[in-house]
Amino acid sequence: MKPRHESPGLLDGTTFRCFVRREAAFGFSWHFHQEYELTLITSGIGTRYVGTDVQPYRPGDLVLLGPDLPHTFASEPDQDGPAEAVVAQFREDFLGPGFFGLPQFHELAVLLASSSRGVLFSGAPEAVLEILRELPALDSPAAQTIRALEALRLLACSGEGVEISGPGYTAAPDTALRDRIDKVCGYLRQEHTRRLDLAEIAAVVHMAPTSFSRFFRRAMGLTLTEYLNRLRVETACRLLTSTELPITEVASRSGYANLSNFNRRFHELKRMTPRAYRTAHRPRSD
């Protein structure tokens, strides 16, 4: 992973930490960890990868990710400024063993359980956003921990969360299996805009094509073709909203040689045509 700017003063072995991630652009770094993670996008736009889900992100988006859920945020350099996010990470026992099993914290326990596939709060309460923005600047780990708990309480009561990754996805329990799928996802991220065949992708993890197909579907909860379409359609969305390229060129640059197939796959995932998507997401001029 690229270096992150972290708040100073947090010792190794603590159960909670928060920091500001600020870079010219967020590089693709597909990873997972044992901590829960709250990420608030404060500047820049890009693409969010969580489990099997591939979607754009924008300032104000807040996600809660559970332990061992592969994820990354990726963007391109922007002349308007750096990419920036506030990140808080904490362990299951960051307030002590069994804390969230207490009856008064039932709603928080439900929230944390739902994060196994990721939860998106695109309309998070402003009070939560304020807490997270100020969190890294607090000079006491105790103060940070108390404020983080308050943010989780408000989120649990908001009813605004939407599950991110599909129901077919579960985190791979085996490290070797997880390393394989992470390697494949990183490769597809780099190569999805060109023609790919099954044998080439299977070779990335030294597997036979038929075995790889079963492996990928079992690990990801969807087929390789379905996952490739998600990557390609998301690339198309970025081109539709950031360029004036003709639809045919957008299709080609996204990895589709056939315009009809592109239109069909795009509509399946976005429930609208590429042209309608461009119109709906075009920046408005005052």
| Residue pair 126/60 in contact by the 8 Å Cβ criterion | no
Residue type, 260: S
The three-class DSSP label of residue 140 is coil
Q: Which of 184, 131, 129, 134 is closest to 160 using CA atoms? A: 129
**Inter-CA distances, 175 with 23, 95, 145, 240, Å:** 29, 27, 30, 38
Q: What are the DSSP E strand ranges found in the chain?
A: 16-23, 36-43, 46-50, 53-57, 62-65, 71-74, 83-90, 119-121, 162-163
Residue 158 is predicted with a pLDDT of 86
CA distance 263 to 191: 21
| Residue pair 50/42 in contact by the 8 Å Cβ criterion | no
Residue 282 is predicted with a pLDDT of 74
Cα atoms in the Cβ-side hemisphere of radius 13 Å centred on 134: 16
| Residue pair 119/162 in contact by the 8 Å Cβ criterion | yes
Helix and strand element counts for the chain (H, E): 10, 9
Residue 159 is predicted with a pLDDT of 79
Residue 169 is predicted with a pLDDT of 57
In angstroms, how far is CA 19 from the centroid of its own chain?
A: 18
Q: Which CATH architecture has domain 4-163?
A: Sandwich (2.60)
CATH topology classification for 175-281: Arc Repressor Mutant, subunit A (1.10.10)
Q: Where are the domains of the chain?
A: 4-163, 175-281
- List the pLDDT tens digit at each of the 286 positions of the chain: 333 333 333 344 567 888 999 999 898 887 888 889 999 999 998 889 898 888 889 999 999 999 888 888 988 887 778 899 999 999 888 888 889 999 999 999 999 999 988 999 987 889 999 999 999 998 888 888 899 999 999 999 987 889 888 765 555 556 667 778 878 888 998 899 999 999 999 999 999 999 999 988 887 778 999 999 999 998 999 899 888 999 999 999 999 999 999 999 999 999 999 999 998 887 655 4
Residue 140 CB contacts under 8 Å (≥ 6 apart), including other chains: none
Residue 168 is predicted with a pLDDT of 57
